[in-house]
Amino acid sequence: MKYKRILLKLSGEALMGDRQYGIDPQRLAEYAQEIKQIHDKGVQIAVVIGGGNIFRGVAGASNGMDRVQGDYMGMLATVINGMALQGALEDAGMQTRLQTALKIEAIAEPYIKRRAVRHLEKGRIVIFGAGTGNPYFTTDTAAVLRGVEVNADVILKGTRVDGIYTADPEKDTNAKKYNTLTFEDVLTKGLNVMDTTAFTLSQENELPIIVFDMNKAGNLVKVCEGEAVGTTVNV
Ligand code: UDP
Sketch the domain layout of the chain as residue ranges.
5-234
How large a percentage of the chain has pLDDT more than 90? 96
Report pLDDT for 92.
98
What ipTM describes this predicted complex? Answer: 0.95
CB 212 within 8 A of CB 179: no
All residue ranges of the chain with pLDDT < 70 are none
Cβ(129) – ligand 1 distance below 6 Å:
no
- Atom 23 (ligand 1): residue with closest C-alpha? 52
Spatial distance between the Cα atoms of 56 and 228, rounded to a whole number of angstroms? 33
CA dist list (Å): 235 to 72, 81, 92, 186, 215: 34, 32, 36, 11, 27
CA of residue 1 to ligand 1 center, whole Å: 31
Per-residue pLDDT, 170: 85
Q: How far is the CA of 71 from the centre of ligand 1 (A)?
A: 7
Per-residue pLDDT reduced to its tens digit, 41-92: 999 999 999 999 999 989 888 899 999 999 999 999 999 999 999 999 999 9
Distance in Å from the first CA to the final CA of the chain: 21
137 CA from centroid of ligand 1 (Å): 7
pLDDT at site 169: 87
Q: Provide the annotated binding site for ATP.
A: 9-12, 52, 56, 159, 165, 168
Architecture per CATH, 5-234: 3-Layer(aba) Sandwich (3.40)
Closest residue by Cα to residue 122 from 47, 44, 221, 224 = 44
